[in-house]
Chains A and B, each alone.
Chain A
Amino acid sequence: MTPPKHGPHPSASEVFEILVRQNGDMLTAFLRSLVKRSDLVDDLFQETMLIAWRRLDDYDRSRPFGPWLRGIAGNLVLAHRRQSGRDLLNCDPAILEGLEKCIRNFESTPADSFRDRLQQLRLCMDKLPERMRDVIDLGYGRGMLVREIAIAVDAGAEAVKKRIQRARQLLMDCLQLPGEAP
């Protein structure tokens, strides 16, 4: 990608590139919370950003860019659900709204960037009880299926699912997002 030229009047694409880089990580995480397949995440990311580029004139610059992007992405996810309905997690409008609240709370925590904020989550992961940290590591770090994790930790598949859900809840609590009860 061509680095922005530091002239007195940056071009529209240069401004857009800055906005993309500032908001791309959060958009990706948002898509990952709704989409199962990585290649679909890539496609929806690209499509969202291209639509945003084409409609940049519609963007109200007095408002933050991230929620606008996620609005476009949410619509694309819903369109994909209407077309095929596959490879998606729960993307009911109420869930999309709930996700948006979570993200806004997350973004309001003091940090310079999204990746800096993730550091807090990493600290919380370190605090998880070992058996929960294990299933998170196996599931997300090594991409193992629930049944594979169950064999690895010598537990039933349902127990593993519960353990992962409980771990996620503990992580959410640990983040202590503003507006969320600890």
Chain B
Amino acid sequence: MNNSNRNDHNVDGDMFPETDDSKASEEQVKHVASQQFIHGLLSFIHSDDESRQNRRYERLMEAIDQEESLAILKPRRIYWRIPSAIAAGILLMLTVIFLSIPTEQSAYAMVQASIDASESAGDRRYEVLITHKPGNEQFQDLHAIIDIRDNNHVVIRADTPDGGQLVVGHNDEGRWAIRQDGMIERFRPDRAWPKWINLGDSTVLVESVDDLLRRLDGYYRLTQGEPEQLDDNQELLYERVTAELIKREGPDPERIELWIDPATHIVQRMELRWPSQQRNRDNSIRQYDSLPQGELDPNGPPRPGERRDPNGRPPHMGRPGQDRPPPRREQHDPNKPPRPGEHHNLDGPPPPHHGRQGPDRPPPRFIDGPPRFGEGRHPPPPDVIVFNRVEAPGFPQDWFDPERHVK
């Protein structure tokens, strides 16, 4: 939900005329240079927030790390002394490395094709399930819906544990959110949109599928997997990409799984996964401590009739073919076009047994900057967030305007 693609300095055009060194006066050169200097600063202010700059640093240091590791192989003078068996081993290793490169390149190409396709895909809807591993029932599963028309037209509507709904979006005028008091808040265009929301029990990443895709390059190592089916279309084999966080620091999901439609290149399903230890590092462990004996197992005791996944995945969050996709909420018909008045409370409040509710519960809050899970400053992330593409209704023209979503 950033507008960086529109920020390639469309106001430059022919506004910086060429200067012929031999003819331009000192004043002319000074004028053009100062115009471009201010242009550079303005472009930087509006396009290069800290996260984008950090991404450049990550990408750079990753390349330097690779160069350093390759440099270890450089002292060729001693190669002739290496016994042939070791040389053969090295050769085999290098062969494996080179064989793996096309797979990685293919994965990057798939993701890039998906990014390109999403820019012209038109109206899309994703149902989102934010969930926790079995045994973490004290954390409430939450639902959200993301409606996307293009980079600049997005609406995210998420249930909150207090029974309310969080609505954020982006339209022609920029980024907006509906505050708890029902007022519209617009974010300054030169500031990053806060992406993390403290829900009290957990801290949740709120970002569109397209923005998440764009962040993969640089932060994640991508690998291509074998094509797989999804439960909603048994005949189609989806392209598979797994993205693993290069530097396992910070709040980002450790692993992202993608199922991409081979014909349209649009993401059909995306799973974001956080490591369980990230939860255990912070104060959430104290909540486990208060549970009755027998529930101290991070996965908790099996429920009656529960088939436990050996990897700790909740039954409905597994890979297609093994488990079921996240259930759709019965009250909500994704094919039904949104009606005025329906929008602020998508499916009604969650059932009473879900999570803590009541006036003592703090309202959801945006976090300025990335959350600090390790220091216990913020509640832990969920274990899994799953995005599933569903059929999109025809969105009304004003669907992406905040006024449409104010109660």
Task: Give the residues in chain A near B40, CB-CB below 8 Å.
Answer: 29-34, 99
Task: Name the residue of chain A whose CB is nearest to the CB of B55.
Answer: A42
Q: Are B56 and A165 in contact (CB under 8 A)?
A: no
Given A21-B57, A98-B29, does the pair A171, B38 have CB atoms closer than 8 Å?
Answer: yes
Chain A residues 1 to 41 lying within 8 A of chain B, measured CB to CB, are 1-2, 13, 16-17, 20-21, 24-25, 28-34, 36-38
Any chain A CB within 8 A of the CB of B10? yes
A108-134 interface (Cβ within 8 A of B): 118, 121-122
- B42 to A140, Cβ gap below 8 A? yes
- CA A28 – CA B56 in complex, angstroms? 10
- A88 CB to closest chain B CB (Å) equals 10
Looking at chain A's contact residues, the main secondary structure is helix
Q: Which of B30, B33, B38, B190 contacts A141 (CB 8 A)?
A: B190
Could you mark each residue 178-201 of chain B with 1 if its beta carbon is under 8 Å from any beta carbon of chain A, else 0? 000000000001100000000000
- B328 at interface, CB cutoff 8 A: no
Q: A69 vs B64: C-alpha distance in the bound complex, in angstroms?
A: 16
Shortest CB-to-CB span from B61 to chain A, Å, is 4
Q: Bin chain B's interface residue count.
A: 35 or more
Q: Which residue of A lies closest to B19 (CB)?
A: A92
From the candidates A38, A141, A172, name the one contacting B37 in the complex (CB within 8 A). Answer: A172
Contact B10–A145 (Cβ < 8 Å):
yes
Q: Are A90 and B19 in contact (CB under 8 A)?
A: yes
With A1-B61, A34-B40, A121-B41 in contact, do A143 and B3 touch (Cβ < 8 Å)? yes
A102 and B37 contacting across the interface, CB-CB below 8 Å: yes
Interface code B30-62, partner A: CB below 8 Å = 1, 0 otherwise? 101111111111111111100001101111110
Task: Determine whether the beta carbon of A99 is less than 8 Å from that of B33.
Answer: yes
Pairwise interchain contact B189-A137, C-beta atoms closer than 8 A:
yes
Interface check B94, CB cutoff 8 A = no
Taking a contact as CB atoms under 8 Å apart, the answer to whether A38 and B15 are in contact is no
Residues of B within 8 A of A17 (CB): 57, 61
- With A38-B47, A122-B45, A149-B11 as given contacts, are A94 and B35 in contact (CB-CB < 8 Å)? no
With A2-B61, A90-B32, A149-B11 as contacts: A32 and B39 at CB distance below 8 Å: yes
A residues less than 8 Å from B89 (CB atoms): none
* CA distance in complex: A149, B15 (Å): 15
Instruction: Report the bound CA distance from A54 to B66 in whole Å.
Output: 13
Number of chain A interface residues as a range: 35 or more
Known: A95-B29, A98-B29, A102-B34. A36 touches B19 (CB 8 A): no
Smallest beta-carbon distance B206→chain A, Å? 22
Chain A positions within 8 Å of B54 at CB level: 1
The 8 Å CB contact of B63, one of A33, A50, A140, A171, is A50
**A45 close to B56 (CB less than 8 A):** yes
Q: Taking the nearest CB of chain A, how far is it from the CB of B132, in angstroms?
A: 30
Q: Assess the A118–B41 pair: CB atoms within 8 A.
A: yes
Q: Which one, B6, B48, B57, contacts A20 given CB within 8 A? A: B57
Residues in chain A near residue B34, CB distance under 8 A: 98, 102, 168-169, 172, 180
Kindly identify, within residues 50 to 75 of chain A, every residue whose CB is under 8 Å from any CB belonging to chain B. Answer: 50, 53-54
Question: A86 → chain B, closest Cβ, in Å?
Answer: 13
Known: A1-B58, A102-B33, A144-B6. A46 touches B63 (CB 8 A): yes
Determine if A146 and B8 form an interchain contact, defined as CB atoms under 8 angstroms apart.
no
Contact between chains at B42 and A136 (CB < 8 Å):
yes
CB distance B56 to A121 under 8 Å? no
Contacts of B59 in A (CB 8 A): 42, 46
Q: Are A29 and B32 in contact (CB under 8 A)?
A: no
Known: A45-B56, A168-B34. 11 other contacts (CB 8 A): A2-B247, A13-B64, A29-B40, A94-B19, A97-B29, A102-B33, A118-B44, A140-B43, A140-B45, A144-B6, A145-B10
Give B contacts to A, CB under 8 Å. 3-13, 15-21, 24, 29-30, 32-48, 53-54, 56-61, 63-65, 67-68, 172-174, 189-190, 247
Which 3 residue pairs spanning A and B have beta carbons closest together?
A98-B33, A33-B40, A143-B6
Q: List 16 A-B contacts (CB under 8 A).
A: A2-B247, A20-B57, A20-B61, A28-B48, A29-B43, A89-B39, A95-B19, A95-B36, A135-B11, A136-B42, A140-B11, A140-B42, A144-B10, A145-B10, A146-B11, A172-B37
Give residues in A with beta carbon < 8 Å to B. Answer: 1-2, 13, 16-17, 20-21, 24-25, 28-34, 36-38, 42, 45-46, 49-50, 53-54, 89-90, 92-95, 97-99, 101-103, 106, 118, 121-122, 135-137, 139-146, 148-149, 161, 164-165, 168-169, 171-172, 180
